[in-house]
A and B are shown apart, each in its own frame.
Chain A
Amino acid sequence: MAWRSFSKRALAAATFVLIGALASACGSNRAWLVKPHQREYLADRIMRPDSNALESSADQHVLNTREGAIGGGGTVGGGCGCN
């Protein structure tokens, strides 16, 4: 119960901080944002976590059948926003 209570509070705090950070970022000047011309390194293949979908799929397939934990791969729905 203590763990569940702590995890709920931690999740609520993290959500609050994230929403606050995004809201303040939208309202302020955007000098801190990374510009398209600054993305040379980020656009490199070795920086893209989802650059090889079949490899990620094969790796997850092995791990999901050998270990009790799943998920958290983080290779879906994200990216460097380079394009």
Chain B
Amino acid sequence: MQLTLPFSRMLVCAAILLPAPMLFADVQGASRFTMFREPGEKNAGITVLHPQADVSAEAGGASVGAGYEVDMVSGATPRVFGGVDAVTSATRFSDLRQAARANVGWNVADVGLSAGYSYGWESDYISHTLQVGARGDFLEKNFTLGLFYTRNIDSVCDANNALAQGILDRKSLVSSDKCFQSGQTETVKRAVDIHTFEPTLSWTATPKLLLQFGGTLQLLDGFQSNPYRRVLVGSQGRTPQEHVPDKRQRYALFARANYAVPALRAAVSLHGRAYRDSWDVLAATADAWFTTYVMDALLFGVHGRYHQQTGAVFYRSSPDYETLGPAGSYWTGDRELAPLGTITSGLKITYLRTRRQKPDAWLDELELNVKFDGMFYNVERFGPNSDRKMALITQVGVSARF
């Protein structure tokens, strides 16, 4: 798909104008390609290709940046959660999501400010994102306090259910062909507003230990169901559109420790997170990285991650939705809202060339890296997408600083 005109113009203008006033600036460019592959035992599963590109320039404490990314999603997914043929009757689909962003920043002495805007668009979803942030160093730069606020003003395409007698009669969206078109009555535009607050505190605890603490508070209001998904509820074979509450509050607290091991020319990073939300999803996540220099220009890293969560208060397995009916007036077939455990493990190899290693180089820094991850799911037998046991994630990245 071609870029729409205003955004292609924006990117071209950014590419031309950014370097002009910053002839002697610190300029960086980075690109990354991610391939996510989640095979299914009984259907094609999901494949996501995700290229990204970023450019930024900095001079005299001021910085500007721009970026662009794409999600090319293809595969098959069951449109109905529940019923004996749910997995095998998965519907094939493909979708394209694009996002363009721009940001500015200002750093003077111990204070930094930033602001950014991004626009994301796909056939059935439009997103406007505004972000502002502030950072302050204090106590001889031993502490850094940061606060970011993000506001999303999103629109989702939904089937027009104005004539539905009740929520059990709500039909799902069949296709995105008529989405966001004026003068048609098959679809409607539904709003989603999201406010996200992210405070962090970094502490240089010792010459080898960096600690970081923080949290996330997110408030969502609007249509949060998957408009295409239906759920088999009750014994009469009714399959209404997925229905989840319009409001959700999400809270996360985290701690991170990065510890240098000079004897091995290595670093160990430990990260833990606790999460809870108003839909009663409780989660705990632990992540560990070990990174070491194999040679002056070559880094090797391994990591492991464990995540465990409970299901939302209105989630039930497919047999329970069928025999017991819904829990209240909500029902979902979303794996993210089911009891779920994931174990992720992988490695990363980085080639790093800096001017210090090669003083006559025309680049200040060049980095190439590849990363492989395996993500293994533990979902209950009759849970959503229970035939998908794992995902493989491959990333290739390159960045340069001039």
- Residues on B with C-beta less than 8 A from A70 are 216, 218, 250, 252, 275
Specify which of A26, A62, A74, A80 lies most central, judged by the most chain B CB atoms within 10 Å of its CB. Answer: A74
Q: With A45-B352, A54-B30, A77-B148 in contact, do A71 and B267 touch (Cβ < 8 Å)?
A: no
CB-defined interface of A24-44 with B at 8 Å, one 1/0 digit per residue?
011000100111101111101
- Which chain B residue lies CB-closest to A58? B34
A76 touches B252 (CB 8 A): no
- Residues on B with C-beta less than 8 A from A18 are 201
Asked if A73 is at the interface (CB within 8 A of a chain B CB), the reply is yes
Bound together, the chains give a CA A11 to CA B146 distance in angstroms of 18
- Which chain B residue lies CB-closest to A45? B352
Within 8 A of A (CB), among B196-218: 196, 198-202, 204-208, 210, 212-216, 218
A68 touches B371 (CB 8 A): no
- Residues on A with C-beta less than 8 A from B144 are 77-79, 81
Of B7-15, B77-85, B87-95, B135-143, the one contacting chain A is B135-143
Specify which of A35, A61, A81, A82 lies most central, judged by the most chain B CB atoms within 10 Å of its CB. Answer: A81
* A7 shortest CB reach to chain B, Å: 8
Of B152-160, B178-186, B321-329, B390-398, the one contacting chain A is B390-398
* B373 shortest CB reach to chain A, Å: 8
B200 touches A74 (CB 8 A): yes
* A55 shortest CB reach to chain B, Å: 6
Bound together, the chains give a CA A16 to CA B52 distance in angstroms of 42
Bound together, the chains give a CA A68 to CA B391 distance in angstroms of 16
* A68 shortest CB reach to chain B, Å: 4
Asked if A13 is at the interface (CB within 8 A of a chain B CB), the reply is no
- Which chain A residue lies CB-closest to B34? A58
- Which chain B residue lies CB-closest to A21? B203
- Residues on A with C-beta less than 8 A from B74 are none
Number of residues in B with C-beta < 8 Å to the partner?
82
- Residues on A with C-beta less than 8 A from B135 are 77-79
- Residues on A with C-beta less than 8 A from B86 are none
Q: A49 touches which one: B207, B256, B336, B375 (CB < 8 A)?
A: B256
- Residues on A with C-beta less than 8 A from B204 are 34, 39, 42, 80-81
A67 touches B309 (CB 8 A): yes
Bound together, the chains give a CA A25 to CA B139 distance in angstroms of 8
* B361 shortest CB reach to chain A, Å: 17
* B13 shortest CB reach to chain A, Å: 22
Q: With A55-B32, A71-B218 in contact, do A77 and B147 touch (Cβ < 8 Å)?
A: yes
Bound together, the chains give a CA A30 to CA B52 distance in angstroms of 44
B275 touches A62 (CB 8 A): no
B146 touches A33 (CB 8 A): no
B207 touches A42 (CB 8 A): yes
* B61 shortest CB reach to chain A, Å: 11
B254 touches A73 (CB 8 A): yes
- Residues on A with C-beta less than 8 A from B199 are 77
* B47 shortest CB reach to chain A, Å: 13
Asked if A46 is at the interface (CB within 8 A of a chain B CB), the reply is yes
Within 8 A of A (CB), among B305-338: 307, 309, 312, 335-337
- Residues on A with C-beta less than 8 A from B274 are 72
* B96 shortest CB reach to chain A, Å: 15
- Residues on B with C-beta less than 8 A from A39 are 204, 207
Asked if A12 is at the interface (CB within 8 A of a chain B CB), the reply is no
Known: A30-B139, A72-B274, A78-B200. 19 other contacts (CB 8 A): A30-B140, A33-B140, A34-B140, A49-B210, A53-B30, A54-B54, A55-B32, A55-B371, A55-B395, A58-B50, A67-B307, A68-B340, A69-B309, A71-B275, A74-B271, A76-B146, A76-B200, A81-B137, A82-B141
Interface of A toward B, CB cutoff 8 Å:
18, 22, 25-26, 30, 33-36, 38-42, 44-47, 49, 52-55, 57-58, 61-63, 65-74, 76-82
Question: Can you report 9 A-B residue pairs in the complex whose CB atoms are below 8 A from each other?
Answer: A46-B292, A49-B212, A49-B269, A66-B336, A68-B309, A81-B141, A81-B143, A81-B202, A82-B141
Q: Which 8 A-B pairs have the closest CB atoms?
A: A77-B146, A71-B216, A72-B254, A81-B141, A78-B202, A71-B252, A41-B260, A69-B275
